[in-house]
Protein backbone atom coordinates (compact mmCIF):
# COMPACT_ATOMS: atom_id res chain seq x y z
CA UNK A 1 0.00 0.00 0.00
CA UNK A 2 1.43 3.34 -0.96
CA UNK A 3 0.48 6.96 -0.23
CA UNK A 4 -1.94 7.17 -3.18
CA UNK A 5 -3.79 4.08 -1.92
CA UNK A 6 -4.11 5.76 1.48
CA UNK A 7 -5.51 8.84 -0.22
CA UNK A 8 -8.14 6.83 -2.09
CA UNK A 9 -9.29 5.32 1.21
CA UNK A 10 -9.31 8.62 3.08
CA UNK A 11 -11.00 10.51 0.25
CA UNK A 12 -13.60 7.73 0.12
CA UNK A 13 -14.26 8.10 3.85
CA UNK A 14 -14.54 11.88 3.53
CA UNK A 15 -16.86 11.58 0.50
CA UNK A 16 -19.17 9.25 2.40
CA UNK A 17 -19.27 11.63 5.35
CA UNK A 18 -20.11 14.57 3.07
CA UNK A 19 -22.88 12.62 1.37
CA UNK A 20 -24.32 10.97 4.45
CA UNK A 21 -24.22 13.65 7.15
CA UNK A 22 -27.13 15.66 5.64
CA UNK A 23 -28.98 12.48 4.69
CA UNK A 24 -28.78 11.18 8.26
CA UNK A 25 -29.78 14.56 9.69
CA UNK A 26 -33.02 14.57 7.71
CA UNK A 27 -34.27 11.18 8.92
CA UNK A 28 -37.36 11.05 11.10
CA UNK A 29 -37.43 9.68 14.63
CA UNK A 30 -39.60 6.79 13.43
CA UNK A 31 -37.12 5.77 10.73
CA UNK A 32 -34.03 5.91 12.98
CA UNK A 33 -35.61 4.14 15.96
CA UNK A 34 -38.13 1.65 14.54
CA UNK A 35 -36.76 0.08 11.36
CA UNK A 36 -34.38 -2.83 12.01
CA UNK A 37 -31.84 -4.71 9.91
CA UNK A 38 -31.18 -8.48 9.87
CA UNK A 39 -29.12 -8.11 13.08
CA UNK A 40 -32.10 -6.41 14.77
CA UNK A 41 -30.28 -3.06 14.84
CA UNK A 42 -31.94 0.29 14.28
CA UNK A 43 -30.30 3.05 12.27
CA UNK A 44 -29.22 4.73 15.53
CA UNK A 45 -27.59 1.48 16.64
CA UNK A 46 -25.88 0.97 13.27
CA UNK A 47 -24.44 4.49 13.48
CA UNK A 48 -23.30 3.70 17.03
CA UNK A 49 -21.63 0.53 15.77
CA UNK A 50 -19.78 2.56 13.13
CA UNK A 51 -18.57 4.91 15.88
CA UNK A 52 -17.32 1.89 17.83
CA UNK A 53 -15.55 0.60 14.70
CA UNK A 54 -13.82 3.95 14.17
CA UNK A 55 -12.79 4.08 17.82
CA UNK A 56 -11.47 0.52 17.97
CA UNK A 57 -9.63 0.82 14.66
CA UNK A 58 -8.11 4.13 15.76
CA UNK A 59 -6.73 2.47 18.89
CA UNK A 60 -5.40 -0.51 16.96
CA UNK A 61 -3.65 1.67 14.37
CA UNK A 62 -2.04 3.82 17.07
CA UNK A 63 -0.91 0.76 19.04
CA UNK A 64 0.46 -0.88 15.88
CA UNK A 65 2.71 2.13 15.33
CA UNK A 66 4.71 1.51 18.49
CA UNK A 67 3.93 -2.02 19.70
CA UNK A 68 6.92 -4.31 19.74
CA UNK A 69 5.85 -7.61 18.19
CA UNK A 70 2.30 -8.89 17.94
CA UNK A 71 -0.44 -6.58 19.22
CA UNK A 72 -2.84 -8.36 21.55
CA UNK A 73 -5.84 -6.05 21.76
CA UNK A 74 -9.41 -7.15 22.44
CA UNK A 75 -11.59 -7.67 19.40
CA UNK A 76 -14.82 -6.03 20.45
CA UNK A 77 -16.74 -7.92 17.75
CA UNK A 78 -15.83 -11.39 19.04
CA UNK A 79 -18.67 -13.45 20.51
CA UNK A 80 -21.28 -10.78 19.81
CA UNK A 81 -19.57 -8.22 22.04
CA UNK A 82 -20.28 -5.48 19.50
CA UNK A 83 -23.97 -5.87 20.43
CA UNK A 84 -22.98 -5.49 24.09
CA UNK A 85 -21.14 -2.29 23.21
CA UNK A 86 -24.28 -0.98 21.48
CA UNK A 87 -26.46 -1.89 24.46
CA UNK A 88 -24.09 -0.59 27.17
CA UNK A 89 -23.68 2.75 25.40
CA UNK A 90 -27.46 2.96 24.85
CA UNK A 91 -27.16 4.34 21.34
CA UNK A 92 -30.93 3.94 20.93
CA UNK A 93 -31.40 6.69 23.56
CA UNK A 94 -28.58 8.95 22.35
CA UNK A 95 -29.49 12.38 21.00
CA UNK A 96 -29.50 11.89 17.20
CA UNK A 97 -27.57 14.98 16.17
CA UNK A 98 -24.85 14.24 18.74
CA UNK A 99 -24.59 10.71 17.38
CA UNK A 100 -24.26 11.97 13.81
CA UNK A 101 -21.54 14.43 14.82
CA UNK A 102 -19.64 11.77 16.78
CA UNK A 103 -19.85 9.46 13.74
CA UNK A 104 -18.66 12.26 11.46
CA UNK A 105 -15.72 13.40 13.55
CA UNK A 106 -14.53 9.94 14.59
CA UNK A 107 -14.39 9.01 10.90
CA UNK A 108 -12.69 12.26 9.91
CA UNK A 109 -10.09 11.51 12.56
CA UNK A 110 -9.49 7.94 11.38
CA UNK A 111 -9.13 9.29 7.82
CA UNK A 112 -6.47 11.68 9.14
CA UNK A 113 -4.75 8.82 10.97
CA UNK A 114 -4.80 6.56 7.90
CA UNK A 115 -3.45 9.34 5.69
CA UNK A 116 -0.55 9.81 8.09
CA UNK A 117 0.16 6.15 8.85
CA UNK A 118 3.82 5.22 8.82
CA UNK A 119 4.36 2.95 5.78
CA UNK A 120 7.17 1.14 7.62
CA UNK A 121 4.63 -0.10 10.20
CA UNK A 122 2.04 -1.51 7.76
CA UNK A 123 3.08 -5.13 8.25
CA UNK A 124 2.74 -4.91 12.05
CA UNK A 125 0.05 -7.34 13.13
CA UNK A 126 -2.88 -7.44 15.49
CA UNK A 127 -4.23 -10.71 16.88
CA UNK A 128 -7.91 -10.48 15.95
CA UNK A 129 -8.76 -13.88 17.37
CA UNK A 130 -7.35 -17.31 17.93
CA UNK A 131 -5.07 -17.99 14.97
CA UNK A 132 -6.26 -14.83 13.16
CA UNK A 133 -3.67 -12.14 12.48
CA UNK A 134 -4.44 -8.90 10.66
CA UNK A 135 -1.79 -6.45 9.50
CA UNK A 136 -2.26 -2.71 9.79
CA UNK A 137 -2.30 -2.62 6.00
CA UNK A 138 -5.19 -5.12 5.85
CA UNK A 139 -7.07 -3.25 8.56
CA UNK A 140 -6.74 0.07 6.76
CA UNK A 141 -7.61 -1.47 3.38
CA UNK A 142 -10.85 -2.99 4.72
CA UNK A 143 -12.09 0.03 6.69
CA UNK A 144 -13.79 1.84 3.80
CA UNK A 145 -15.64 -1.32 2.73
CA UNK A 146 -16.85 -1.81 6.31
CA UNK A 147 -18.16 1.75 6.37
CA UNK A 148 -19.88 1.25 3.00
CA UNK A 149 -21.48 -2.00 4.19
CA UNK A 150 -23.17 -0.31 7.14
CA UNK A 151 -24.24 2.74 5.15
CA UNK A 152 -25.77 0.35 2.62
CA UNK A 153 -27.71 -1.29 5.46
CA UNK A 154 -28.97 2.13 6.51
CA UNK A 155 -29.91 2.93 2.93
CA UNK A 156 -31.92 -0.30 2.75
CA UNK A 157 -33.74 0.61 5.97
CA UNK A 158 -34.50 4.11 4.69
CA UNK A 159 -35.94 2.63 1.48
CA UNK A 160 -38.03 -0.06 3.19
On whether the CB atoms of residues 14 and 111 are closer than 8 A, the answer is: yes
For 102-131, how does the pLDDT look when each residue is reduced to its tens digit (9 = 90+)? Answer: 999 999 999 999 999 999 999 999 998 888
* Reported pTM: 0.94
Domain boundaries, the chain: 3-159
Instruction: Examine the pLDDT at 80 and tell me if it is beyond 80.
Output: no
pLDDT given for residue 1 in this prediction: 64
CATH H superfamily, domain 3-159: dinb family like domain (1.20.120.450)
What is the maximum alpha-carbon separation in the chain?
48
Strand, helix or coil for residue 41: coil
For 1-47, how does the pLDDT look when each residue is reduced to its tens digit (9 = 90+)? Answer: 666 778 999 999 999 999 999 999 999 999 999 999 999 999 999 99
Sequence-distant (6+) residues with CB within 8 A of 143 are 9, 13, 53, 57, 110, 114
Amino acid sequence: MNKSEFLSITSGICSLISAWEPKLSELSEEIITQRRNSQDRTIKQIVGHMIDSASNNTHRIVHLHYQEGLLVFPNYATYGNNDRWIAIQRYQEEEWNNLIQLWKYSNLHIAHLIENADPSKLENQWQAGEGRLISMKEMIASYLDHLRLHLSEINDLISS
